[in-house]
Structure 1
Amino acid sequence: MPISTQSAPVASNAHGTLKRIMLQGRYETLAMLGNGEQLIVAAVLPLLALIGLVFTGLLDDVAESPIDAAAPGVLALCVISTAFTGQGIATGFDRRYGVLRFLSTTPLGRAGLIYGKVVAVLTVLVLQVIVIGGISLLMGWRPAVAGIPAGIALLVLGAAAFTALGLLVAGTVRPEATLAITNLAWVLLAAVGGILFPSNRAPDYLQPFVDLLPSAALGDSLRSALISGSTSVSGILILLAWTIIAGFAATRWFKWN
């Protein structure tokens, strides 16, 4: 029986590509964790939001315990902090200083660079879930066990949607504009975008718009999953739609230099 002489080189190339992606992911992760401003947005501000929501009584009518209502929203905020704001700003300034153009010409390639950023986002998100989730448990959080698998899937899907949006912004406007847009969006989405508060609390004139936002889909769906154990099909579909549309737009219009 003849033995293929191509399988070994193909496997070797695949292993080399995966290794390069993981190394780039580690570099991106360490860069994010070593940036003081990003740590504030990724960890300090969500933690302050968690404490504030629990002790101010703003979510007393959402669940039996304030922490049960606050924790899912803060986890959703972590997704936006890392995947959208943090990654968008980092990519924007990497683009400005020519880092993206340089890396895209290396064996890592453009696709490998993007996958490395995805690895970094997921890694930091896992750390955020451990920290915020652990503190929430100590504060009395008791998530619905039946909703945990759906919650994990929603976090991953939300990370995909907001990473695509972050790259779209970072790849199409100037770094200063990226900084302003992502930070302003973080504040607005946290306040009235369905992240920290249920989307039905938005003003009536904004309600139709808010219901279609990826932030509302992520925040409301996470609350449904982790409070009552239910799965929001509409929320999943909205996140999928945003992931596909933003991913296509980022691929089409992203400027590497």
Structure 2
Amino acid sequence: MSTLFDTAATGRPATLARRILEQGKYEAATMLRNGEQLVLMVVMPLLGLVALVATPLLDGLGPSRVAVAAPGILALCALSTGFTGQGIATGFDRRYGVLRFLSTTPLGKGGLIAGKVIAVLVALSLQVVLISTVAAFMGWRPPLAGVLLGIPLLILGAGTFTALGLLIAGTVRPEATLAITNLGWILFAAVGGIVMPVGKFSGVLDGVVQWLPSGALGDLMRAALIDSRLDVWGLVILLAWALVATVAALKWFKWN
């Protein structure tokens, strides 16, 4: 019999780590069974990768089109899964009373957010494998040092966007969450610096984009996976967004 049932049989409460892990497994399974989520997580990034490699938009910005496109598309996966996917799912869980039920358990706000981050990381791992495989067939050969550097940066980005998505989902109505997260995805992807490097924008927009979490993550991934370099300024910006979004979500998230 599993440890979970052994614990229940002896009357001992599950540890916080076990509760978070079980919540993460539930969230991940729910996410991967949702057809709309899969379109957002798989189809859109793949289409974006193919489009960027097939068009001259990224010419002159790196050693090859795929070398510049792949890091940005991996960052886009973190945005799609953490921000839009979790934001919409949580917003409607809130409407249908799922979060009200969870509020009666020992999970707590912190446990709920941690469980959702785990689910995002599981989905993101599958996305990374798929996108990297397709990009490899297109000729992408990132340096090993850059890959080792890019993995924790992508995890940080996923955590940041998950916290932002939960902040929105926990403070506004589900319809507003749907509109904000979808619009946010479009703006971040198109002019937020996550897919297109900052150098592609005008001077005014350039100055704004570098302060956004999308621009910071995009720059971090490109620096790591093209030059095996840590963009310190991008890391500072992304860490600041992660801290502010997490604290705000923990403080203002409403179960009902």
**TM-score band (shorter)?**
over 0.9
Q: Say whether the 8 Å CA contact 1:104–1:113 is kept in structure 2.
A: no
Contact kept? 1:210, 1:216, Cα under 8 Å: yes
Work out whether 1:100 is the aligned partner of 2:99.
yes
Aligned-pair CA distance for 1:181? 0.6
Is 1:144 the equivalent of 2:140? Answer: no
SS in 2 for 1:205: helix
CA contact (8 A) 2:188 2:214 kept: yes
Stretch of structure 1 that moved more, 69-78 or 197-206:
197-206
Distance in 2 (CA, whole Å) between partners of 1:105 and 1:93 is 18
Structure-2 separation of matches of 1:232 and 1:160 = 18
Q: CA deviation at 1:110?
A: 3.1
Assess, with a 3 A threshold, how the Cα gap between structure 1 residues 142 and 230 changes in structure 2: closer, same or farther. same
CA distance in 1, matches of 2:90, 2:201: 31
Alignment of 1:91-130 (within 5 A): 91-130=90-129
Q: Which residue of 2 aligns with 1:170?
A: 169
Match of 1:58 in 2: 57
When structure 1 is superposed on structure 2, of 137-146 and 118-127 the one drifting more is 137-146
Aligned residue runs from structure 1 range 237-256, under 5 A: 237-256=236-255
* Equivalent AA in structure 2 for residue 32 of structure 1: M
2:4 corresponding residue in structure 1: none
Name the counterpart of 1:189: 188
CA distance in 2, matches of 1:14, 1:227: 48
Q: Cα gap change, 1:13/1:236 in structure 2, threshold over 3 Å: closer, same or farther?
A: farther
Task: Give the alignment's TM-score, normalised by structure 1.
Answer: 0.92
Q: Secondary structure at the match of 1:50?
A: helix
* Residue aligned with 1:58, SS: helix
**2:241 is matched by which residue type in structure 1?**
W
The range that moved more, 61-70 or 104-113, is: 104-113
In structure 2, do the counterparts of structure 1 residues 14 and 121 end up closer, same or farther at CA, with 3 Å as the change threshold?
farther
Corresponding residue for residue 78 of structure 1: 77
- DSSP 3-state at the match of 2:57: coil
Deviates more, 1:74-83 or 1:35-44: 35-44
Tell me how far apart the structure 2 counterparts of residues 15 and 147 of structure 1 sit (CA, whole Å). Answer: 39
Q: Structure 1's 14 and 235: CA in aligned 2 closer, same or farther, altered over 3 A?
A: farther
The amino acid of 1:113's aligned partner reads L
Partner of 2:226: 227
Normalised by the length of structure 2, the TM-score is 0.92
Paired position in structure 2 for 1:87? 86
Residues 50-108 of structure 1, C-alpha deviations (whole Å, 9 max, x = no match): 00000112112111211111100000000000000000000111111111110121233
Judge which range, 246-255 or 230-239, deviates more: 246-255
Q: CA deviation at 1:200?
A: 2.2
Q: What is the Cα deviation at residue 176 of structure 1?
A: 0.5
Distance 1:243 1:19 in 2: 24
Name the Cα RMSD after superposition.
1.7
Native 8 Å contact 1:82 1:121 kept in 2: yes
Whole-angstrom distance in 2 between the partners of 1:69 and 1:14: 49
Structure 2, unaligned runs of 5 or more: 1-10
